[in-house]
Structure 1
């Protein structure tokens, strides 16, 4: 595995590999502190790509005032060892000065999809995400880019950007990876104190219960689903709900309370953001109304 820290060297390395016919390029953009969720993306990239590129870059412009940019967990040596074990060919680790050598006057912004859910709670967050992903796509020029569905809104936003800007890359959404007890893997899980982590299991439990009731027809409307999610999450004393919503996916259209979920033509997402102490966790489950199939 090659470790590259400059845009110029990465472009030269990829040009050389393409000239040698070393295949489609699969790209996994991350902020590091890698876990098995990231590992699943790397494995998928390895299966579909001749060259696998992983980026590790904690992007300052997607963090708001008072958020955890400075304290975001970092462990370069551990990340590189893990990436190599997953078959990554190139690890790209630029610093902030390399990615933003001068104050950024250009940003890429996707409207509507970014005004709700995490976009409402974290103003400007998605502008930072789409700007850095656009930059990374221009640098790597991947054939495929792999993103985890735990950040489902991010996937929807990036897919919209790719379509709107006619970008020559295929976005590959990959399933959520969970701990054995159901907690969705996240780099921020390291922040959780033992009791907070135990109570955080209420997220996957609420999604599983709602999905099962949707599947057997006991839960019918979006309003009932929202109420059930909130009721279950509120059983955890430390849970501070940011949102618990029901929307179409990937359009992210909020369903009216009286909307019959089984009558929705598109996929439906139940999306959560909940704080436990200082740690904000997100989770979601997809439901296909016409097939009665849930993905938790």
Structure 2
């Protein structure tokens, strides 16, 4: 397994692979890998000749009072996991490599970037789209793999790919959950034992929404009330948002009969968690 720290090295290696006619899959990550990330790697391995994984904690997608400084960094453990999964290369640049002194260019997907997590975390998606567009330009992958857990991110990046004509396929893989239903997240490791139990409120709320929708309820307002009722049972969990939206535009909808994304975000202690369900 090759490990590259510079843009030039990664560009050269990826160009050589493409020149050999090999299908390249890219899995962008911020490290602190778990089974959710590894499911993306396995999907990429099943469909591509070679798999590249980026590990980069991107400062531009964190707000001034967010957890950039304490975000878990487990590079050696991540490398061992990826080696066992048969990853061909890792791209792990320093911040100065991705954002050289004087860099002032950013990518912003207007509209959709201001919804859901974008409304709660102003500027967050500008940081995401900027760093992912950089990774796409560096690797020029045939396919890029993302998790459905980050549904708002998927919507923003999918629009960016369409609008900027990136010559790649976005592949979205299902949410991977713990046995009790908690969506896997690198931030789960912040949770105390008590908070870990409280965090199940997110998946329970979505489960109630799914049950109600399966029973024929299609009013977004009533489904949101159903989810909020579950959160009310755990008052220490603070809701950020509960929404029923169009999964592509992230715009609110009133009726779910043509499909919807049920999305929740909440603070458990000081940890912000997200989860979602496609109806």
The yes-or-no answer on 1:275 pairing with 2:267 is: yes
The residue aligned with 1:190 is 189
| In 2: Cα distance, 1:97 partner to 1:260 partner | 47
Calculate the aligned-residue CA RMSD, in Å. Answer: 1.0
| In 2: Cα distance, 1:17 partner to 1:173 partner | 23
The residue aligned with 2:159 is 160
Does the aligned pair in 2 maintain the 1:29–1:146 contact within 8 Å?
Answer: yes
| In 1: Cα distance, 2:114 partner to 2:8 partner | 35
- Alpha-carbon offset, residue 87 of structure 1: 1.5
Given candidates 205, 218, 225, the residue that maps to 1:220 is: 218
| In 2: Cα distance, 1:11 partner to 1:114 partner | 28
- Alpha-carbon offset, residue 106 of structure 1: 0.8
The residue aligned with 1:114 is 113
| In 2: Cα distance, 1:138 partner to 1:60 partner | 19
The residue aligned with 1:139 is 138
- Alpha-carbon offset, residue 115 of structure 1: 1.3
The residue aligned with 2:36 is 37
| In 2: Cα distance, 1:103 partner to 1:230 partner | 46
- Alpha-carbon offset, residue 268 of structure 1: 0.3
Does the aligned pair in 2 maintain the 1:196–1:238 contact within 8 Å?
Answer: no
The yes-or-no answer on 1:250 pairing with 2:255 is: no
Q: How does 1:7-18 map to 2 (within 5 A)?
A: 7-18=7-18
Give deviations 1:124-168, integer Å, cap 9, x for gaps.
000000000000100000000000010000000000000001110
| In 1: Cα distance, 2:134 partner to 2:273 partner | 27
Does the aligned pair in 2 maintain the 1:117–1:243 contact within 8 Å?
Answer: yes
| In 1: Cα distance, 2:218 partner to 2:196 partner | 31
The residue aligned with 1:4 is 4
Does the aligned pair in 1 maintain the 2:116–2:250 contact within 8 Å?
Answer: no
Q: How does 1:56-205 map to 2 (within 5 A)?
A: 56-205=55-204
Give deviations 1:1-39, integer Å, cap 9, x for gaps.
111111111122222223333x11100000000000000
Task: For structure 1, list consecutive stretches of 5 or more residues without a partner in the other structure.
Answer: 288-296
| In 2: Cα distance, 1:53 partner to 1:233 partner | 39
| In 1: Cα distance, 2:6 partner to 2:224 partner | 46
The residue aligned with 1:294 is none
Does the aligned pair in 1 maintain the 2:209–2:223 contact within 8 Å?
Answer: yes
The residue aligned with 2:47 is 48
Q: Which runs of 4+ in 1 moved over 6 A?
A: none
| In 2: Cα distance, 1:33 partner to 1:8 partner | 25
* TM-score, reference length from structure 2: 0.98
Does the aligned pair in 1 maintain the 2:3–2:90 contact within 8 Å?
Answer: yes
- Alpha-carbon offset, residue 100 of structure 1: 0.9
SS of residue in 2 equivalent to 1:123: coil
The residue aligned with 2:256 is 261
Does the aligned pair in 2 maintain the 1:177–1:185 contact within 8 Å?
Answer: yes
Does the aligned pair in 1 maintain the 2:264–2:275 contact within 8 Å?
Answer: yes
SS of residue in 1 equivalent to 2:37: helix
SS of residue in 2 equivalent to 1:114: helix
